[in-house]
Amino acid sequence: MTTEQLHDVRLHVNGSVHEVQVPARRLLSDALRHDCGLTGTHVGCEHGVCGACTVLVDGTPMRSCLMLAVSAVDAEITTVEGLTEDDGTAQGRLSPVQQAFSDCHGLQCGFCTPGFLTTITAGLRETPDPTEDEAREMIAGNLCRCTGYQNIVKSVLRASEIVAERERGEA
Ligand code: FES
Ligand code: FES
């Protein structure tokens, strides 16, 4: 029996450092879930199709099932657990995208939701005031088996409003 060699890897996730020992082939998605205990990142297809495993790597949405943990050592990773904003309370405040999903009922079973939240968070930085078509384009790479997407599109548009409201100090 061969024993797989383990590598010491330091992952920067949601502002914290996680020192983990992983085989060279450990997927980032598995490292986040199993080694860091951050199970908010969901794994669906495991081959880059569904988008459920999307996390932000230096602010860019990446499919964590297509990335090796060892290749993420120098990056700042944001998972769904890291989206909540610090408001001085223990639980923090929902991010604009999270709040919009709540306001617009943008989820049903919730399996796809972490991937949508991270994808839209990055998408709104690029396109802060999307049209409905742009909102659909923003989420075109993420699959949802429950919602029919209508309320997710509404959530994108609502999130854009919330970002603007918070910037104006209105929310
Ligand atoms: S689990 Fe990564 S894209 Fe589906
Ligand atoms: S809410 Fe169930 S898969 Fe999207």
Q: Which residues contact 170 (CB under 8 A, 6 or more apart)?
A: none
C-beta 44 within 6 A of ligand 1 = yes
The reply to whether ligand 2 has any atom less than 6 angstroms from the CB of 111 is yes
Residue 42 DSSP label: -
Q: Which ligand is nearest to the CA of 53?
A: 1
Token readout for 167 is 């910037």
Query: What are 140's two structure tokens?
Result: 């075109």
Choose which residue among 28, 32, 46 to substitute to test ligand 1 binding: the one with the highest number of ligand atoms within 8 A of its C-beta: 46
Atom of ligand 2 nearest to the CA of 146: 2
SS3 assignment, position 41: coil
Q: What is the pTM of this model?
A: 0.96
Give dist(CA 108, CA 129) in Å, integer: 25
Do residues 65 and 43 touch, judged by C-beta distance below 8 A? yes
Residue indicated by tokens 């408001």: 87
pLDDT attached to residue 164? 97
Write down the pLDDT at residue 1. 60
Confidence of residue 57 (pLDDT cuts 50, 70, 90): very high
Helix (H) or strand (E) holding 167: helix 150-167
pLDDT of 2 strictly over 80:
no
Q: Write out pLDDT tens, residues 122-142.
A: 999 999 999 999 999 999 999
Q: Give the model's confidence band at 171: pLDDT under 50 very low, under 70 low, under 90 confident, else very high.
A: confident
Is the minimum distance from the CB of 162 to ligand 1 under 6 angstroms? no
- The pLDDT of residue 106: 98
**Ligand at shortest distance from the CA of 43:** 1
pLDDT value at 90 more than 90: no
- pLDDT average, residue stretch 79-107: 96
pLDDT of residue 34: 97
Please give the C-alpha separations between residue 140 and each of 25, 114, 152, 153, in angstroms, as whole numbers.
29, 15, 11, 10
Per-residue pLDDT of 63-79, as tens digits, reads: 999 999 999 998 999 99
